Structure 1
Amino acid sequence: MDARISFVTLAVDDVARSRRFYVDGLGWAASVEVADEVVMIRVGTHVMLSLWNRADFEAEVGPTARGGIPPVTLAHNVATREEVDAVLETARGAGADPVTAGTERAWGGYTGYFADPDGFRWEVAWNPGPLADIVLP
């Protein structure tokens, strides 16, 4: 099996609300849409972010945990510290819950976090060194 992720699927309570946040607010382009069921956004060469109605998600994969912070983070890497702050501001403008402002990290990078309408945490990060060559387009 190849080391690869093709889809990241988030179970969301309100597909239209998630669409407003990601497509209208952040300016991402929907690739596939089925009203009240799913919005899929191409986020990489061969990677899709799927925002799937929670009830349909649970019907296929089983019940999900409710309450608290989902135990996963998603990351959006950028080329500079200034871009971290700009992306965090864009997310706030789209209605994101600002979790943390951009902060210098002990490991040498600069990151901040926001939460989407369902509480999924997005890290916005500038990573110094060779890791940036792997994760930046």
Structure 2
Amino acid sequence: MYVTLHVRDLAESRRFYEDVLGLRALDPDDTSVSYPVGHVILSLQSAPDSAVPLGDPDRSLTLALLVDDVQKTRATMEERGGRLQPTQTSRAGTMAEFYDPDGHWLSLYAVSEGAMGWPSGRKVEALREASAGHRKPGDDHQELLYVFLYVRDLHATEEFYQRMLGLVPMETNTCHRGVTSVADGVVKYDGGGVLLTTHHVGEGEHAALHKVATEGSKSVAFGFHTADLKASAAELSARGLTFGGEPVVSRIGATASFEDPGGYRYYLCEPSEETMAGPGGAEIRRILGADL
């Protein structure tokens, strides 16, 4: 999967993601830069150059970074000038939330011993094993594990992700922090290099207490890799998915856009030969070759 975040000031955002988070830049230019975050490609795009408006902090989704030790990673980030919310614990593990310079909502997450026995724990172990050969001595394990999307309509959401996209739930449970009281309100899907997770938001006090939004932000988009855009689009169209116009072809490749019922934006992405020949292409091949 690819994750794209639009940012106001690319230079400022690069300082945050590289100097504070410690990510390694791929293919930077004047309007964009990419980072391998475990088995996901994270891309920053200049919002002014893309004519994408940015507002207040985005509470419609959370990107959770898997780490070995939240307190250790937190201390490193704070030494580099990062500011994080108080560390929290639950049955799922330990987490510390923070925002990037444009208000995109992220968190550090270390899995509890109990949660490693859940179905999602098998995914965590697979990601760790697949990353082991690419880590430098002393590096903290840090990769994007969860994409949490906050939703209102469980039925429409399940219809979209399961019937149209064909994703199979890996794990279904309730929220450990009270955002919803619905027993099956949190559904985790295996998105290859990430757990794509839809998270129901309860009415009234639930939404007000946690201040979460349930409408997709225009400053964030997700991409599914495909080696054959035309064939993948035809298959999804046959399942009833509607695309937002004809595919767009550019120097980096071909894309076709669509949205889920909550307005979260997606793309099918077929990288160009030029992209695959560069450093980004090497990372894509590494990710596609991992046994996940």
| Structure 1 residues 70 and 96: alpha-carbon distance in aligned structure 2, compared to 1, 3 A threshold | farther
Q: CA separation in 2, counterparts of 1:31 and 1:96?
A: 22
Q: CA separation in 2, counterparts of 1:43 and 1:29?
A: 9
How far 1:41 sits from its partner (Å)? 0.5
Matched, 1:123 2:107: yes
Stretches of structure 2 that go unaligned for 5 or more consecutive residues are: 129-292
Residue from 56, 59, 63 that aligns with 2:49:
56
Residue from 47, 55, 72 that aligns with 2:61:
72
- In the other structure, the counterpart of 2:32 is 38
TM-score by length of 2: 0.38
- Rg larger for: 2
Q: CA separation in 2, counterparts of 1:92 and 1:121?
A: 17
Q: CA separation in 2, counterparts of 1:91 and 1:33?
A: 23
Matched, 1:104 2:117: no
TM-score by length of 1: 0.76
How far 1:65 sits from its partner (Å)? 5.0
Aligned length: 121
Matched, 1:91 2:86: no
Contact 1:96–1:116 (CA<8 Å) still a contact in 2? no
Report Cα offsets for 1:100-135 as digits up to 9, x if no partner.
222212x34211111111121211112232433313
Larger strand percent: 1
- In the other structure, the counterpart of 2:13 is 18
Contact 1:96–1:115 (CA<8 Å) still a contact in 2? no
Q: CA separation in 2, counterparts of 1:97 and 1:57?
A: 28
Q: 4+ runs of 1 displaced by more than 4 Å?
A: none
| Structure 1 residues 133 and 102: alpha-carbon distance in aligned structure 2, compared to 1, 3 A threshold | farther
* Cα root mean square deviation, aligned: 2.0
| Structure 1 residues 92 and 42: alpha-carbon distance in aligned structure 2, compared to 1, 3 A threshold | same
Report Cα offsets for 1:6-40 as digits up to 9, x if no partner.
x11111011011111111222211011002x1111
Percent of paired sites with the same residue: 31
Report Cα offsets for 1:58-115 as digits up to 9, x if no partner.
3xxxx44512434211111123xxx1112222233333332x222212x342111111
Contact 1:88–1:114 (CA<8 Å) still a contact in 2? no
Q: State which drifts further: 69-78 or 124-133.
A: 124-133
